[in-house]
Amino acid sequence: MIQNKDKPTRLRCSEIWGGIGNMDLDVSTRPVTTSLFSSASDSDSGGDVYYFSVCARDTIVRIAMADVMGHGRAVSTMSQWMYAALVERMDSFHSNDILEHLNRLANERGHEAITTAVVFSFGVENAELYLSYAGHPPVWIRRHREGVWQPLAQKQQTQPINLPLGMFPDTKYSQQQLRLDSGDRLLVFTDGLIDAPSENGQPFGHDRLQAALEEASGGTLFHLKQGVLAAVRSHTGGSLGHDDVTLIAVDVH
């Protein structure tokens, strides 16, 4: 597990960073600081993929996360696809275009590539967040002016969209847009976090997640991340071996 508790890794313009390995690290860009934790359940690289990118003019920061059903080659392939898609669309705000491209590739691969994913982009100049899902758990937000953690509401749709990658080749993906202010915080995670079971099989769930977030909100971003992980470990009896677990906490400057 690679760790950095003292000084965040700084991303430069036109840089992409991430992958599939175990990681405990802070990553900083001009508009946001993030704190990442990723742990594979049975090896150094499981089924979770994560990436950060900064565009050439340092005006678009993008974070992408995926949870691949298969392991091994399927995960490595999705990681490569995601990296290439982020490179090609580094200067675009359209997160849904990335998901539609990845979905076409995943359908060509077959069922082992079925994947949930979330991609969001932050525009530095307009302070807007552009967010798209593919069957992934919702991003959580804490508005600085409100001081309460809650999942971001998703618009009700009249037709099936935003499905996991690799299910249907013609799936459409929508994009939410919202303004972020300095001091706002986000949390994005794979379902291994909320599905973490107690000794009697009770999942960690959203209520315990919200309680952990509220309790740890007064500290640094690293403290927030560690507070959530401590709550999950307390619930499970100390282990995170049930599934791959990845979370990224985000602080808007």
Backbone φ and ψ of 36, nearest 5°: -110, 140
- Which tens digit of pLDDT belongs to each residue from 27-45? 988 889 999 999 988 776 7
CATH number at residue 199: 3.60.40.10
Nearest alpha-carbon partner for 137 in 160, 162, 158 = 162
- Which tens digit of pLDDT belongs to each residue from 119-157? 999 998 899 999 999 999 999 999 999 999 999 987 776
pLDDT bin (cut points 50, 70, 90) of residue 56 is: low
pLDDT bin (cut points 50, 70, 90) of residue 1 is: very low
CA quadruple 85, 64, 173, 252: dihedral sign = negative
Global pTM reads 0.92
pLDDT mean over 12-18:
82
- Which tens digit of pLDDT belongs to each residue from 178-231? 999 999 999 999 999 999 999 999 999 999 999 999 999 989 999 999 999 999
* The pLDDT value given to residue 170: 94
Weakest mean pLDDT among 19-23, 34-38, 232-236: 19-23
pLDDT mean over 92-112:
88
Nearest alpha-carbon partner for 60 in 138, 124, 129 = 124
- Provide the number of structural domains found in the chain: 1
Range of the domain at 73: 2-252
Distance from C-alpha of 154 to C-alpha of 138, rounded to nearest angstrom: 8
